[in-house]
Chain A
Amino acid sequence: MTPELPAVGRAEALAEIVRRHGTEALYVVAAGYLAGALREVVGERATVLYLPAGAGLAPAVGLGVALAARREVVVINGDAALLASLGTTHTLRDRAPAHFFHYVLDNGGRESAGERPSPRLEGAYSGVTEILAVTRDGAPGRSAPAPSANAAEVRDFLARPLAPGGAATAQARPPLELVVLPPGVSPRRRRG
């Protein structure tokens, strides 16, 4: 039987990812509660591309950016969204450059769609940097910005020269001090 693994708070996990990659990275976040939660965490400190919709497509959008830009691109995805376009993990495996990262926050379902459960993930996938087990923390207090304004902000950010060291990848940085699942171990949620 798979051991029960502890989960961390959603905001804590997001803050740790942002701490790891810094403010020179572009963050791409799936639609839903994750988007608002990330906005609460980063405020104006980091540039985030918020998907207005398109379940499962954040990794593909992020890969498209990463292939055309030198900045780190950090995709933050949900477990249900990962499953919605699971084939994309193979495209990422084959084509993602070293400055592309893909985190999956696994709370076991589509929380923003009424706490509907999703099928349990495998412990690891090609094209996924890490899967982090997180708690279900409810609706965030902020919502994503208007898509057209957000796109303009992202275009400006990507056109800006990189700060010194901005193109360096996070691979040499310390690992997250979070739940990092070993291969073959499925994440479990701590409920209530």
Chain B
Amino acid sequence: MNGVSDDRGLLARLRAEGYDFFTGVPDRSLARLQRDAADLVDAQHVPATWEAEAVALAAGSALAGARPCVYLPESGVGYALEPLLSLCRPWGVEPLLLVGRAPAAAGTPAGAAGCALLDAVGWSAYRVIGAAA
């Protein structure tokens, strides 16, 4: 895991790293990323209805040769765990998670536990974006 304090220029950096498919669930700390991703062609960016759907989309794209990123709020990590463990890991695909972290004052119990959950299951392919990253 590594983190950055905001998402300015993040999409361009990720694309330079070879990531070519973006999906996820909106989060305030990832607003720029989502705005920039909206300019991608439809096949490269799909807003999802919830975190598990986004991870499943990413898993399918990875099987077809894409390098996917999933953006999500830290409070949604719990929803993402099931497909990470039951689809991505058995299939040997590893989408990069971009975890939006809210300021502590705006946090939720689920948000506070989010990255700890990823650590607990050994999912290291994530970056924290936002407050206290």
Contacts and interface: CB of A to CB of B under 8 A. Distances in A.
Interface of A: 28, 49, 51-54, 56-58, 60-69, 85, 87-88, 90-91, 95, 97, 147-148, 150-151, 154-155, 158-159
B87 A67 contact: no
A53 B82 contact: yes
Judged by DSSP, the binding face of A is helix
B60 A53 contact: no
A54 B52 contact: yes
A64 B58 contact: yes
Interface residues of B, number: 32
Nearest to A31: B86
Contacts of B21: 64, 67-68
B125 interface: no
A90 B53 CA distance: 11
B49 interface: yes
Contacts of B92: 148, 151
Nearest to B46: A95
A88 B53 contact: yes
B66 A68 contact: yes
Contact of A63 (B46, B68, B82): B46
Given A53-B87, A57-B52, A151 B46 contact: no
